[in-house]
Amino acid sequence: MMTENYRLEFTQEIQDKLTTAALEAQANAYSPYSNFPVGAAVMTQEGSIFTGCNVENASYGLTVCAERNAIAASVAAGHLNIFAIAVVTSAPFVARPCGACRQVICEFSSEDRPATIVSVASNGDAVVQTINDLLPDRFNLL
């Protein structure tokens, strides 16, 4: 069991593990409208991994992104602190999380220990950033 003081360090091994989990989740994406399947894998501060895929809807506003589905699975299991997230797409370029997903990632990532985000293209190219890089002026009510 990990203690409260346990601090994960982002490594290539963690990046590979999250990318693999995100690729597995991507296989379950429901994207008949955009044909843009996305998979995501979230690692919590405790080291647990939760996955999600995008689920589209004919009423486009009801579509839910892979990142938010992975985070929802984490929250449903009682894990509120995101350490890292990998997002994989079928695009030949690196596609980063949308604005809504960035805000949700912020909700479950502290400013002093920001979540690491790995965005991975179909050809394996990857960009590693923190949520503070992607959303420097996060919205907060607390």
pTM, full prediction? 0.92
Mean pLDDT on 123-139: 94
pLDDT, tens digit, for every residue of 71-128? 999 999 999 999 999 999 999 999 999 999 999 999 999 888 899 999 999 999 999 9
Q: Flag whether 139 is in a domain.
A: no
Q: Flag whether 95 is in a domain.
A: yes
pLDDT, tens digit, for every residue of 15-68? 999 999 999 999 999 999 999 999 999 999 999 999 999 999 999 999 999 999
pLDDT at residue 5 tops 80: no
Residue 121's domain is classified under what CATH number?
A: 3.40.140.10
Q: Flag whether 54 is in a domain.
A: yes
Catalytic sites, residue numbers: 67
Tell me which H or E stretch contains 99.
helix 99-107
Q: Flag whether 1 is in a domain.
A: no
Q: Flag whether 30 is in a domain.
A: yes
Q: Flag whether 142 is in a domain.
A: no
Q: Flag whether 4 is in a domain.
A: no
Residue type, 119: S
Q: Which domain holds residue 130?
A: 12-134
Count how many domains the chain has. Answer: 1
Reference 84, options 34, 132, 139, 131; nearest CA is 131
Q: Flag whether 141 is in a domain.
A: no
